Structure 1
Amino acid sequence: MYAIVDIETTGGHASASSITEIAIVVHDGQQVVDTFHSLVNPEMPIPRYIQALTGITDEMVSFAPTFSELAPKVFELLQPNVFIAHNVNFDYSFIKHQLDVAGFAIHSKKLCTVRMSRKIFPGMPSYSLGNLCRQLGITIQDRHRAHGDAAATVQLFEKLLANDTQQVLASMLKVGSKEQALPANLPREQVLQLPNTPGVYYFHDQKGKVVYVGKAINIRKRVLSHFSGNNPGKQRQDFLRNIYQVSHQVTGTELIAFILESIEIKRLWPAYNRAQKHIESKFGIYVFEDQQGYMRLAIEKKRKYTTPILGFNLMIEGRNRLIQLVKQFNLCHKLCFLQADTQACTGLESQICKGACEHREDADTYNSRVFAAIRHLQEGLATFAIIDNGLAKGQHSCVYIEKGKFYGMGYIPSNAELESAEFLKEQLTQYPENDYILNLVHQYASVNTKQIVRF
């Protein structure tokens, strides 16, 4: 038995919107056996543009039952039957959310007539309910009203059944099929073709633009996980509506998948990726020459198009490192901005400072120690490669760090000589660095020491 459903709502996502009208038509696969229709008091104002679209006004629903009053009847009609709707995840997310609030837990199988239409009537220019019905000769009475759209969906479902020569319905309802969980516009075949290997995947919108980039140790499993559950929030519901394609890149390891994901997020700036768009160290140690010719080290906030000698997430980290350099290389507290008052330099009393702040020491002599401190910082940054599984037999993956900076990554022959860093760099693809990648690689290297080749 099938329950064909349509609803009208106050907005596009269940967590902050309500149902204003509901229609349920129970169908046994041959004919309609029961119907239910009611306006619903949403217990909130209906936006003007939705009133204009549906014709349902605040006055019309003011004396209608609330959903909680209708919940027992709705649950009775839906629970034992297959839940069918045009773009089923939208209707199901609202009704499940409202039933949950009313104390009813529904666990119906779902069937989407958008997805079913794509399989049985391929090549249509549009699969929206209005356009699809026009193309199939179905007349919709009362468009954008629950009873009118539900009646049209019944006719569409009957046409789908009549033309289902490939047993599409049975396949979609088969136990273990992920069909009912997929977004309405994402072809199941694309998901089935995804590999069970590490890599990066891309969700595309109707125009082919990448709207989300993710990484995975198992691409297919991770992609499917996006469609499990029934989160009624706006972000998730908008996200599901905008997925039309999925593509992928296989990587040899999870580490490379993590790095590539970060690179691609920075390159493509997808609408639904938020976490890594602004992950950067906030401070850095910079060097500049003042008007008297003295080289000065300073901790400043990181800015675009500037490269610090060393980056830090916290000001105190940079300050502590700079204090160490001042002591080790006899630098001046004032010239390093560790002392900002008008008193005498505290380094003079402790004999750390040689008097550059009072011009007792010439710039060239002082600067030689500043350059030595910078070299010390740079030499302390390791150069190494992380060697791991490749994409195929006889191949290794390689992530290369040069003087503490991420250089790039790629794949090399498993019998390649790794004595020369220059040879290794020629085999790899250079990528832009960011602090997320650098921290990720250093954390990985600290744990997986057997995979490290140092230069």
Structure 2
Amino acid sequence: MYAVVDIETTGGYASANGITEICIHLFDGEKVVDTFQSLVNPCQPIPRYIQAMTGITDEMVEAAPKFEEVAEEVYSFLKDRVFVAHNVNFDHSFIKAHLQAAGYDLQVKKLCTVRLSRKIIPGHASYSLGKLCDALEIRITGRHRAGGDATATAILFGMLMQKDKEFILKSLGRNSKENVLPPNVPKEHFDQLPYTPGVYYFHNEKGKIIYVGKAKNIRYRVNSHFSNNSASRQRQNFLKHTYAISFKSCGTELMAQILESTEIKKLWPMFNYSQKSAENMYGIFMYEDRNGYHRLAIERNKKQLRPVYTFHYLTEGHAILRKLIKDHQLCPKLCFIQTSGECEGMREHYCHGACEHAEDALAYNARVSSAIGSLSGIQASYMIIDQGLGSSEKSCILVWDGKFYGMGYLPTDITVMNAESLKDLITPYKENLFIRNLVASYAERYPDKVKYFEV
């Protein structure tokens, strides 16, 4: 027995929206044998644009039962039946979430009439319920109302069963992905996904990339986006807007993370929210004051000036500068760590009096140069060697003067003697702070994979 379902809601995802109307037709494969239908009080205002689309107003649902009042009957209609809907994961996510809140755990198989229609009756310009029914001459009485849309879906499902019942039964198989993939994504796109590290891309109807993700295992990660029963906005956005899936394999998970970050910065996909914020990079700058003393100061990075060291957080910069002051006996006042009062460095005997001109500028500047030179140890040049895409190659990530330069693949039998020759063998990528910190952290955790160069 099949339960053909349609609902109307206050919004696009279950975790923050309510159901305003529900209709369930019990369908035996030939005809509807029973029906449950009701308006539902969503306990929240219905947005005006949804009122205009469905015709369901706040006044209409004010006296309607709340979902928990009809939950037992809804559950009895759905239990042990195959849940069928047009874009099934949308309707199922709402009903499962609301039943769960009422104390019922819905565990049913699902069928999506969008996916079934694309497979069984291919070639239509659109597979939206309204346009598909127009093309098939299925009359919808009450479009965008649960009763009318559920009745049309039941008729459509009956037509699909007549044309190819074998595929429908196959779609209910344990290993079938037909009931979890987005309604508009061909199953072949999922079947081609590899079990390797890499980056995957979700495309919209026009082919534009709307989401970029990285994975240790591309196939498992993509599957996880759709196989869970999350009621989140992100999952519903993926289900609604994803029409194609593509990918790029990488030798390692680290390379996948790097590629994901560069792609997000380059493509700015609409459903990627992390790594889009502006990077407030800071730096330690050195300049000479009018008395000839070299001074160190923390400022925001400027295109026209070259810092001696860069960092992401001000707290990180202050910690580094304080360490330089103590290690190289610099003046906290000349480094703008202290702005007033008696010099703390003189009181603690590590400042030699440069702030009061008691120390010669040349002697003080020599220690400033030494302090700056010590930072070059932090800004090292090295490569990270790891496994490649196949046994005949190895992956390589190059960091030059503390900055991520690029990555690529090298033959296993090649010997790289210097960084300059390596630059010609790999692909340069635009660096950002996320990548720099990611690579530096990895190099610290896996020193056996790192080879240092002299800059």
TM-score (norm. length: structure 1): 0.91
2:96 equivalent in structure 1? 96
Aligned length: 453
Matches within 5 A, 1:69-218: 69-164=69-164, 167-218=166-217
Q: Write the deviation string for residues 315-352 of structure 1: whole angstroms up to 9, x where unpaired.
A: 44433432333344453332211221165684498363
Conservation of the 8 A alpha-carbon contact between 1:332 and 1:357: no
Amino acid at match of 1:158: G
Distance 1:189 1:351, change over 3 A: closer
What is the alpha-carbon distance in structure 2 between the residues aligned to residue 344 and residue 253 of structure 1? 51
State whether residues 345 and 357 of structure 1, in contact with CA within 8 Å, keep that contact through their aligned partners in structure 2: no
8 Å contact kept, 1:7–1:22: yes
Partner letter of residue 231 of structure 1?
A: S
| Conserved? CA contact 1:331–1:354, under 8 Å | no
Unaligned runs of 5+ in 1: none
Whole-angstrom CA distance in 2 between matches of 1:305 and 1:233:
45
Contact 1:279 1:436 in 2 (8 A): no
Structure 1 window deviating more from structure 2 (168-177 vs 334-343): it is 334-343
Give the CA deviation at 1:312: 4.0
In the superposition, relative to structure 1, how do residues 80 and 287 fare at CA in structure 2: closer, same or farther (>3 Å)? Answer: same
Contact 2:352 2:358 (8 Å CA) reproduced:
no
Report if the CA contact (8 A) 1:281-1:435 is conserved. no
- 2:391 is aligned with 1:393: yes
User: 1: distance between equivalents of 2:151 and 2:182?
Assistant: 23
The 1-side partners of 2:73 and 2:350 are apart by 87
Q: Alpha-carbon deviation of 1:356? A: 6.3
C-alpha contact (below 8 Å) 2:352/2:359 kept by paired residues: no
Contact 1:253–1:389, Cα closer than 8 Å, also in 2 = yes
Q: Distance in 2 between matches of 1:21 and 1:320?
A: 59
- Deviation of 1:207 after TM superposition, in Å, equals 2.2
1:168-191 alpha-carbon deviations (Å, 9 max, x no partner):
212211112122111112221101
- Secondary structure class of the residue paired with 1:376: helix
- One-letter amino acid of the structure 2 residue matched with residue 431 of structure 1: Y
* Matched residue SS, 2:15: coil
Query: Distance in 2 between the 1:23 and 1:418 partners?
Result: 68
Q: Does residue 263 of structure 1 match 2:251?
A: no
Aligned-residue CA RMSD in angstroms? 2.5
1:237 match = 236
* Aligned residue number for residue 442 of structure 2: 444
Q: Distance in 2 between matches of 1:317 and 1:233?
A: 35
Following the alignment from structure 2 to structure 1, what is the Cα–Cα distance between the partners of residues 43 and 324? 66
- The runs of 5 or more residues in structure 2 that have no matched partner are none
Corresponding position of 2:371: 373
Cα deviation, residue 48, structure 1? 2.5
Alignment-mate amino acid for residue 30 of structure 1:
E
Provide the secondary structure at the position in 1 that maps to 2:164.
coil
Look up the match of 1:253.
252
Give the CA deviation at 1:296: 2.2
8 Å Cα contact 1:279-1:435 kept in structure 2: no
| Aligned residue type for 1:449 | P
Greater displacement, 226-235 / 276-285: 276-285
| C-alpha distance after superposition, 1:239-282 (max 9, x if no partner) | 32121111111111111111111121222222222233348576
**Deviation at 1:354?**
5.4
* Structure 2 CA distance for aligned equivalents of residues 278 and 33 of structure 1: 55
Cα distance between partner residues in 1 of 2:271 and 2:13? 16
Q: State the SS of the aligned residue for 1:325.
A: helix
Report the CA distance between 1:412 and its aligned residue: 0.9
Q: 1:208-264, CA deviations, whole angstroms, 9 ceiling, x for partnerless residues?
A: 222221111111111001112222233332232121111111111111111111121
**Amino acid aligned to 1:416:** I
1:338 corresponds in structure 2 to 337
Deviates more, 1:211-220 or 1:373-382: 373-382
| Structure 1 residues 301 and 163: alpha-carbon distance in aligned structure 2, compared to 1, 3 A threshold | same
- Residue 284 of structure 2 corresponds to which residue in structure 1? 285
Supply the distance in 1 between the matched residues of 2:299 and 2:306 (Cα, whole angstroms): 11
When normalised by structure 2's length, the TM-score is 0.91
Deviations 1:39-74 (A, max 9, x none): 222233323222222122233223322222222221
Matched, 1:425 2:426: no
Letter of the 2:151 counterpart: A
Structure 1 residues 212 and 308: CA distance shift in structure 2, 3 A: farther
Distance 1:189 1:344, change over 3 A: closer
Paired residue secondary structure (1:164):
helix
User: The residue matched to 1:21 in structure 2 has which SS?
Assistant: strand
Distance 2:451 2:210 in 1: 37
Report if the CA contact (8 A) 2:333-2:343 is conserved: no
C-alpha contact (below 8 Å) 2:43/2:66 kept by paired residues: yes
User: Whole-Å Cα distance in 1 between the matches of residues 51 and 315 of structure 2?
Assistant: 57
